Amino acid sequence: MIYLKKADKSPTTGEEDTRRIVQDMLAKIENGGEDMAREYAENLDKWTGDIIVTSEEITAAGERLSQRARDDIHFAYDRVKKFAEAQLASMQEFETELSPGLIAGQKLIPVHTAGCYVPGGRYAHIASAIMSVTTAKVAGVKNVIACSPTRGSEGVHPSILYAAGLAGADTILALGGVQGIAAMAFGLFSGHPADVLVGPGNRFVAEAKRILYGRVGIDMFAGPTEIAVIADETADPDIVASDLISQAEHGFDSPAWLISMSEEIAEQVIERIKSCIARLSEPNKAAAENAWRDYGEVIIAETREEAVKQSDIYAPEHLEVHTKDLEWWLAELSNYGSLFLGEETTVTYGDKASGPNHILPTKGAARYSGGLSVGKFIKTVTWQRMNREANRDVGAVSARISRAEGMEGHALAGDDRLHKYFPDEQFELKAS
């Protein structure tokens, strides 16, 4: 394996400084409540208006959009909803008799309240409103709170408001950053503390979710967006370069990785990167330029098996495969947030409108976690019931195991039932 380009920084660069800033903000907001959240909104986003967006404001936002813009949002919404509905249909409740008289089952229960963060600072993440709110509503969440940063005195971007309203958000907060995450977690302004927090965001938003995890559920540990492309000799270097830079424009800390089995293709991609960046205007251009300089990597793999191994080490958020024999790659690759097979699809489609969710794990979390799905909003819980006859075996075994563990109280709970249900019988209740 050969590096044609090695990154100077990693996705974890600067984490400690971010953590200190976010911890301080969360503590102040928890103690200061809504007043402190408003103070951060004013100081950081120059917003002094109402935090809760009214239904009239949502309607007005939609009226400000063109018919084409509204149609496009509906197009994306329909596909995201259909995919989420298919996910829900794949989940099921069941009950089964494990032994005579012992029946156990699985039940799917949506959480009560979900908090959906929708980035809206540098870019208006219209699709994130659709991806998060729609999925929560399909899962059956009764109370969905969305929040998004304001743009100075203009408030939340009208397209975000329209999309969140269409998707079914029950409350929309004009609040971004750490203060938005804190407001949803602590139930500020809405009166409904979130059971789970979801949605993409910058490193401060991601760190706030990480710190709050445990007090609330989160979709996944996530940070700046990532893309990896696997390319063989059949790949189009212009398309590969374009796709890498399309994600690098997210921010200065967005990794973009190329793994190629063809040194010629890899070198051509590197050559074309500069012209791809040059097509962008500011601030996108500077973001992509810095991201590629500091976080971009190009690796030459001798075999496709080596490429798979390296890709699985990266465990990228987005993974594109520009190769022959796509079915082989689908079967062999394991660690990714979402997989894009063939030149004809791209992360851009997945990010905006094709259907599968674009809220995905980063920083290697794809080794153990998938992206946002209806399952993130649903608790898979178990239940059981037994008749008295079933206690004969289960009770005795449980008592003996409890005593073997040294847990006499547990054992007695089994003993008491056996003595009550079978008073004339003797049981072997001592540990073996």
Supply the DSSP string of 267-312, one letter for each residue.
HHHHHHHHHHHHTPPTTHHHHHHHHHHHH-EEEE-SSHHHHHHHHH
Rounded mean pLDDT, 91-101: 96
223 neighbors 314 (Cβ within 8 angstroms) = no
Task: State the pLDDT at residue 54.
Answer: 96
Which residue would you say has higher pLDDT here, 123 or 91?
A: 91
Closest CA to 335 of 307, 302, 375: 307
Residues with Cβ within 8 Å of residue 416, at least 6 apart in sequence: none
Closest CA to 382 of 109, 106, 110, 95: 106
Rounded mean pLDDT, 3-10: 83
Task: State the pLDDT at residue 14.
Answer: 66
- Domain limits, CATH 3.40.50.1980, in the chain: 15-219+375-380, 224-370
List phi, psi (to 5°) of 14. 80, 10
Task: State the pLDDT at residue 405.
Answer: 95
- 15-219+375-380, CATH topology level: Rossmann fold (3.40.50)
For 333-355, the pLDDT digits (tens) are 999 999 999 999 999 999 999 99
For 57-80, the pLDDT digits (tens) are 999 999 999 999 999 999 999 999
Prediction pTM value: 0.90
User: What is the overall mean pLDDT for the chain?
Assistant: 94
Q: Given a cut of 90, is residue 13 above it in pLDDT? A: no
For 376-407, the pLDDT digits (tens) are 999 999 999 999 999 999 999 999 999 999 99
Tokens of 94: 């069941």
Number of Cβ within 10 Å of residue 52's Cβ equals: 13
- β-pair type (102-110, 378-386): antiparallel
Q: Which residue has the tokens 């995201």?
A: 80
* In 358-407, alpha helices (H): 388-405
Which residue would you say has higher pLDDT here, 124 or 43?
A: 43
Superfamily the domain 224-370 falls into: Nitrogenase molybdenum iron protein domain (3.40.50.1980)
Residues marked as catalytic: 317-318
Question: What secondary structure letter does DSSP report for 365?
Answer: G
Closest CA to 242 of 325, 343, 333, 316: 343
Tell me the C-alpha to C-alpha distance, in Å, between residue 50 and each of 42, 56, 121, 144, 261: 11, 13, 18, 19, 55
Task: State the pLDDT at residue 123.
Answer: 80
Task: State the pLDDT at residue 270.
Answer: 97
Percent of the chain with pLDDT over 70: 99
The amino acid sitting at 212 is L
Q: Given a cut of 70, is residue 40 above it in pLDDT? A: yes
The alpha carbon of residue 186 and the mean position of all alpha carbons in its chain are separated, in whole angstroms, by: 20
Q: Determine the Cα–Cα distance for residues 358 and 355; give it in Å rounded to an integer.
A: 9
